[in-house]
Amino acid sequence: MSAFSRFTPLASALPSTVPFVGPEAIERQRGLAVSARIGANENGFGPAASVFEAMREEAGNIWKYNDPENFALREALAAHLGVSAANIAIGSGIDELLGQIVRLVIEPGAPVVTSLGAYPTFNFHVAGFGGRLVTVPYANDSEDLDGLLDMVRRENAPLVYFANPDNPMGSWWDADSIVAFARALPETTLMVLDEAYSETGPAGSLPSISSLIELPNVVRTRTFSKAYGLAGSRTGYAISTAGTAQAFDKIRNHFGMNRLATAAALAALKDQAYLVEVVGKIHAGRERIGGIARVNGLQPLPSATNFVAIDAGRDGAYARAIVDGLMELGVFIRMPGVAPLNRCIRVSVGPEADMALLEEALPQVLKQIG
């Protein structure tokens, strides 16, 4: 047979992998059933009743394409944020927007700066478009702003990724530090400020919209997947200057948004009272997870997200044994993938039934693995 490949050299060289193995795949591969789904940072409390009602009302229109300009959602987000609709770009989750940002900015071989161990889907897109990842280690379990800035300058990097609050550690920086970092960047460097967990952070961790909206080299990405409970609907958005936001129109799939998902996002945005209620549950859930960890001799790290990273006190192999052992008992969690972060396990906040299963299973696993 011919060794001819019908794929590009870049595509042929990429690993046959995805950033995450889902709980469904684990169930199939290991013949196990997930009883507590608290590993993917989903919001197990789900969306508001008003969101379900909006989706039911829109279901009869599913034969129609969604508005390719996403006009209603952009207008609603603009009103909510106090900006112009021209400052908003819509995508099917932050993951799609990250891919579009990389495509807009990165040519093959170009350096891209990120933190070692940060959100792997961003790295996946960088590799997919031929960029060269340059990573900076975490410092004290937080992304290192000074280290990132130094690396950007050293590499003359056209793109830098920074998440606040952070995944996978749940850490955060104060708003003033983030604004100072953004303003210190060379104007030739585009900053992705990933704010997927913006609604669950403490006061003072989220820069105001006005503090960054005039910077054309800053793109803030947000989502309806976390606090709004709509991970499966895949709806995200980017905030930037009009010129930067409108650049997405050059490459995006104009009919890529789901009509029911758009209706759900509009209803979720309108129901801010429910959002406040859910954020309160998330805060309480973080305390619940922290208490379970401490009772079992583990150390929860401070978190501004809807999950808690827990220092298991040893190495990655030990943390992996905890993750695998919990899965054997139907409790799905995850862990960071890079040392020294991988000494931790990561548990998403979930309903009380899920927390109770974790509370019951964790001591059994720890006793078993010794």
pTM to 2 decimal places = 0.96
Give the pLDDT score at 2.
53
Q: Are strands 190-194 and 307-311 parallel, antiparallel or unpaired?
A: unpaired
* 226 and 121 within one domain: yes
Say if residue 219 is in the same domain as residue 322. no
126 and 145 part of one domain? yes
Residue 213 structural domain: 49-270
pLDDT at position 17, please?
80
pLDDT, residue 284, reads: 98
- E strand or H helix at 113, and its extent? strand 111-115
235 and 94 part of one domain: yes
pLDDT given for residue 4 in this prediction: 67
Cβ-defined contacts of 318-321 (< 8 Å, 24+): 318/343, 318/369, 319/343, 319/344, 319/345, 321/365, 321/369
With respect to residue 11, please indicate whether it lies within any of the assigned structural domains: no
Asked whether residue 237 is domain-assigned, the answer is: yes
Structurally, the chain folds into a number of domains equal to: 2
Q: Do 38 and 118 sit in the same domain of this protein?
A: no
Are 254 and 359 part of one and the same domain? no
Q: Indicate whether 15 belongs to any domain.
A: no
Same domain as 258, residue 122: yes
The answer on pLDDT for 218 being more than 80 is: yes
Mean pLDDT of 326-343: 98
Residue 14 lies in a domain: no
Tokens of 21: 């193995």
Instruction: Look at residues 219, 252, 270 and tell me which one is the last residue of a structural domain.
Output: 270
Can the peptide bond before residue 137 be classed as cis, meaning omega within 30 degrees of 0?
A: no
Helix ranges (H only) for the chain are: 9-13, 23-30, 49-58, 71-81, 94-105, 120-128, 145-155, 175-184, 209-212, 242-246, 259-270, 272-295, 316-328, 352-369
pLDDT tens column, 41-77: 999 999 999 999 999 999 999 999 999 999 999 999 9
Do 169 and 238 have their domain in common? yes
Question: 308, 299 in Cβ contact below 8 A?
Answer: no
Who's near 183: CB < 8 A, 6+ residues apart?
Answer: 215
Question: Closest Cα to residue 294, out of 320, 312, 280?
Answer: 312
Residue 324 one-letter amino acid: D
For residue 364, pLDDT beyond 90:
yes
Does 99 map to a domain? yes
The separation between CA 124 and the C-alpha centre of its own chain, rounded to angstroms, equals 13
Domain with residue 27: its CATH number is 3.90.1150.10
Instruction: Locate 13 and state its tokens.
Output: 């060289």
Answer yes or no: is 6 within a domain. Answer: no
Report d(CA 341, CA 115) in Å as an integer.
Answer: 11
* pLDDT tens, residue by residue, 280-330: 999 999 999 999 999 999 999 999 999 999 999 999 999 999 999 999 999
97/317 Cα distance (integer angstroms): 34
Categorize the per-residue pLDDT at 3 as very low, low, confident or very high, splitting at 50, 70 and 90.
low
What mean pLDDT do residues 319-343 have?
98
At 5 the pLDDT is 80
* Residues 195 and 335 placed together within one structural domain of the fold: no
pLDDT at 1: 45
C-beta of residue 106 within 8 angstroms of C-beta of residue 129: yes
Q: Which of 255, 270, 285 is the last residue of a domain?
A: 270
Tell me whether residue 316 is in a domain: yes
Kindly state the average pLDDT of the residues 263-291: 98
> Residue 126 sits in a domain of what CATH number?
3.40.640.10
Of 253, 270, 287, the last residue of a domain is 270
Instruction: Report the C-alpha gap between 98 and 19 in whole angstroms.
Output: 14
**Residue 241 and residue 300 in one domain:** no
